[in-house]
């Protein structure tokens, strides 16, 4: 029988997995599909971040994930994607 702690751990793991998927998707998109200046990039990013923020809020409401840690996960991902984006833009401009 799962305890609350087990479920909470799975919630954190799942959120990190989903954040990592977004990171990979954005990386692939920048490497192959479109320029980061393309509106499609922004749209995919916004949609994916929205989806993840819904998961985080849901986990917080179920008291499985700490509110601050959940927001931190989203902030960290946004910062990493922003760095990826900047690095790619600089390379493209060379």
- Which residues, 38 to 77, sit near a second copy by CB under 8 A? 47, 50-52, 54-55, 58-59, 61-64
What is the separation, in whole angstroms, between the first and last Cα of the chain? 57
CB-CB contact of 59 with 6 (8 Å): no
Smallest distance, a second copy to C-beta of residue 17, A: 9
Contact track, a second copy, 3-42, x by CB under 8 A: xx--x--xx--x---x------------------------
- Number of chain residues interacting with a second copy (CB under 8 A): 21
Give whichever of 17 and 32 is closer to a second copy, judged by the CB atom.
17
* Phi–psi pair at 3, nearest 5 degrees: -90, 170
* Phi–psi pair at 6, nearest 5 degrees: -60, -45
From the list 59, 57, 55, 43, the residue with the least C-alpha distance to 19 is 55
Where does this chain bind a second copy (CB under 8 A)? 1-4, 7, 10-11, 14, 18, 47, 50-52, 54-55, 58-59, 61-64
């Amino acid at each position: 029988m799962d305890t609350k702690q087990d479920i909470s751990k799975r919630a954190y793991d799942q959120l990190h997995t989903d954040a990592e998927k977004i990171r990979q998707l954005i990386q692939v998109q920048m490497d192959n599909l479109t320029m980061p200046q393309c509106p499609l990039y922004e749209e995919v990013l916004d949609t994916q971040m929205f989806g993840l923020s819904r998961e985080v809020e849901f986990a917080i409401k179920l008291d499985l994930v700490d509110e601050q840690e959940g927001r931190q996960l989203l902030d960290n991902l946004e910062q990493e994607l922003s760095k990826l984006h900047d690095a790619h833009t600089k390379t493209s401009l060379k």
